[in-house]
Structure 1
């Protein structure tokens, strides 16, 4: 008994967020539509308390887990809804710039 192998041209991959997952026919599993979302592009509400920071708090940004969110900034942003991470980032740095201690 032989087997037929059909090779179809593979389409050029444009984006890896949207696929139809097709299983081998003998498994009896229907195709599944799969969509991946990037959390950075999703809306969200700010939570968390931040941490008390002192001195040059940004020195830790490139180390281990990075710099903590200063508690005074977390207090100002907590509960606010942002359309995406870029909107949050703009608001974060605006608040840092408005804080006399952090903007030194």
Structure 2
């Protein structure tokens, strides 16, 4: 079992803390407002501090990324297709507040 900014990860489960869940809810509401079909996306939640070799004070955040899937049989980047445009959210781990939104490529 390991603990991160967003909760606890076990061999077969993830327990999200309240701030992460609130951030995920807010990010989803913002994403839904774009009109894109959620079924065409995968959702990635990352503890930026844990994923950085030499973390600084700005790395104490959670990121939630809605990653556009590739069209079956098509090569290229996730955003290089008609299924949608990926969106990356930066979330405060203590409050779940969205600190930034970036369209990704």
Structure with the bigger percentage of helix: 1
Q: Which has the higher strand share?
A: 2
Q: TM-score range by the shorter chain?
A: under 0.3
TM-score scaled to structure 1, two decimals? 0.26
- Greater relative contact order, per chain length (Cα 8 Å cut-off, separation 6+): 2
Higher Cα radius of gyration = 1
